[in-house]
A and B are shown apart, each in its own frame.
Chain A
Amino acid sequence: MSLYILCLILFAIGLYCLIVKKNLIKKIVGLGIAEYAVNLFFILLGYTKGGEAPILSKDTPITNFVDPLPQALILTSIVIGLGVTALMVAITVRIYEKYRTFDINEIRRLKG
């Protein structure tokens, strides 16, 4: 139970970083931390006491395995996170080209 609370604390730290920091790169890092926290939460759901890695091979007998379903889902989610981070970094580089700054207070041409 305490592990889940720690995951949610990590998520809150990531969200804080995303909202409060003014530099665009720090916002990207904050979003990355929040994403890792949620992925970790998801994988921890499948944990059974005394479980082993769910890899079947010829010599290990079928013992207590942790749940492999969340692990497969989180692989997908990590790839999605990679894609979004790459897109965000690309947009940030282009923003730097146009606005010459990473500060979010300067990047405010859209108003109203």
Chain B
Amino acid sequence: MLPVFVIIPLGAAFLIPILAKFRQGLAAFVANLAAGLLLFFSICSIYWLKGGLKIYYVGGWPPPFGICMVLDGLTVLVLLVINLIGFLALVYSLDYIKRYSSAYLYYTLFCLLLAGLNGLVISGDLFNLFVFLEITSIACYSLIAFGTEAEELEAAFKYLVLGSVADILILLAIGMLLGCVSTLNMADISRSLNTAVSSNLILYSTALFITGFGLKTALVPLHAWLPDAHPAAPAPMSAMLSGVVIKIAGVYALIRVIFNIIGFNLVISQIFIWLGILSMGVGVLLAIGQWDFKRLLAYHSISQIGYVVFAIGLGTPLGITAGLFHLFNHSLFKSLLFLNSGAVEYSTGTRRLEKLGGLYQSMPTTSATSLVASLSIAGIPPFCGFWSKLLIIIASFQANNIVGAIVCILVAMVTLASFLKVQKYAFMRKAGQALTNIKEAPGFMKFSMLALAMLCILVGIFFVPFVDTIIKPAAAVLLEGTGYARRILGV
């Protein structure tokens, strides 16, 4: 039953251009149906996993001859992230996209994006992962440039160039690995790397993987595309980009390759820790001075992904669990923040914080949900962000990494200050002259924002059963590292 995650969005993406010739409304309906089905199946996959690891041989060819699809704990977690945020962003776009002409193109590209993301995470073969990564990237580039205003095109071009360089580096790294082990199945590569003689090629390949996937994750110093690309995209696409794509095409692919294929060692751990600390610090320092709502959120994305990479780089069980939990939480509250900024822009027409104000009275839903999201990202109990940040700080103290722990605490305080600024300028203070007649966001947009805010609160209150059912199996997959190969090939 695994290929259903790829079949549904691909079918929707090919059907929509034909259906849109007859009736425009069908495009939105088909896309939302596809996303809803995907969400349903990804919740089912939590139960499929109870029976153990699931492997699917595409075309009936067993590995290592054929491509296989694998469902394990880590896959279930990221499938939930992708399909949940994807469904809610699509529901949000039902109202938001009416501003643009030819909306059916948006739905086609969005379904292709979902297909690429889903295929990336269930793939068990390294080149298959690369192909789906490219599908995701091409859909992203097109969606960022969707409005075809001057700034959006420039941002899309910048992201295109840097993203293509990253893809080429990843292809070079796959080529070097292929030269060493002459197979492409992830489990087979890991088994061959264990028994084969280590050579310099594997070191170069690891370095290229970290650079290539790091560019997709926007780790500092490879973050230059993110503050331009995320504000320029339409708001539901920004939510998908910041909440899903940089995590899946970046963090998930990186940790799948490093942990399960090449094997985690001390050098890689130090690299992740220092990259994480650098991202945390630089991201939040650059975010403080921003007056554009979405650009501020984009810089905060860099710093929160720094948290995730730092925690996973610690390598301890608590560290990896905390990192994956923060990955899930960040996708929830960052997507909610971007959807809020989209609603604000939809109603008021501006993104500059100095021009906004007084939205607390005129847009109650938006300001309430943005309050929930801001408290989550700053780490205030009992919202979800508090628990994951606390676990990260405890894990770094446990791993004797005092520098990292202190940076975490300081960055959390600066994040809180930054979001208090956002709340004050955009929502709390008295409205200026220009902002009159502001209406609340339309129905579907309210539904998505309320759903995400509910989830923030629920995950924060019930975090212990959530971590046990979903995060712990994911962390277990990463911790057993190259033992992954034994489970897939049955050797």
Direct A–B touching in the complex (beta carbon < 8 Å)? yes
Closest Cβ of chain A: how far from B150's Cβ, in Å? 4
Partner of A94, one of B127, B153, B158: B153
- The answer to whether B172 has its CB under 8 Å from any CB of chain A is yes
Q: Is the interface of B mostly helix, strand, loop or mixed?
A: helix
Given A24-B157, A87-B141, A112 and B178 contact (CB-CB distance below 8 Å): no
A69 CA to B174 CA in the complex, in Å? 13
Q: Residue of A at shortest CB range from B160?
A: A88
Contact of B161 with A by CB under 8 A: yes
Q: Which residues 159-215 of B sit at the A interface, judged by CB distance below 8 A?
A: 160-161, 164-165, 167-168, 171-172, 175, 178-179, 182, 184
Question: Does B155 interact with chain A (Cβ within 8 Å)?
Answer: yes
Q: How far is the CB of B278 from chain A (nearest CB, A)?
A: 20
Residues of B within 8 A of A41 (CB): 172, 175
Using known A-B contacts A38-B168, A77-B171, A84-B138, determine if residue A99 contacts B150 with beta carbons closer than 8 Å.
yes
A42, B178: Cβ atoms closer than 8 Å? yes
A24 CB, nearest partner CB in chain B, Å? 7
Q: Which residue of A lies closest to B163 (CB)?
A: A84
A73 to B184, CA, bound (A): 10
Is B142 interfacial (CB 8 A cutoff)?
Answer: yes
Name the residue of chain A whose CB is nearest to the CB of B149: A98
Closest chain A residue to B291, Cβ basis: A112
B171 with A112: CB separation less than 8 A: no
- The chain A residue sitting closest to B170, CB to CB, is A38
CB nearest neighbor in B for A34: B168
Instruction: Report the nearest B residue to A43, measured CB to CB.
Output: B175
Q: Which residues of B are in contact with A by a Cβ distance under 8 Å? A: 127, 131, 134, 137-138, 141-142, 145, 148-151, 153-158, 160-161, 164-165, 167-168, 171-172, 175, 178-179, 182, 184, 227-228, 232, 290, 292, 295
Going nearest first, the 4 A-B pairs with the smallest beta carbon separation are: A98-B150, A42-B175, A110-B228, A80-B134
A-B pairs with beta carbons under 8 Å apart, 6 shown = A27-B161, A34-B165, A42-B175, A84-B141, A94-B145, A112-B292
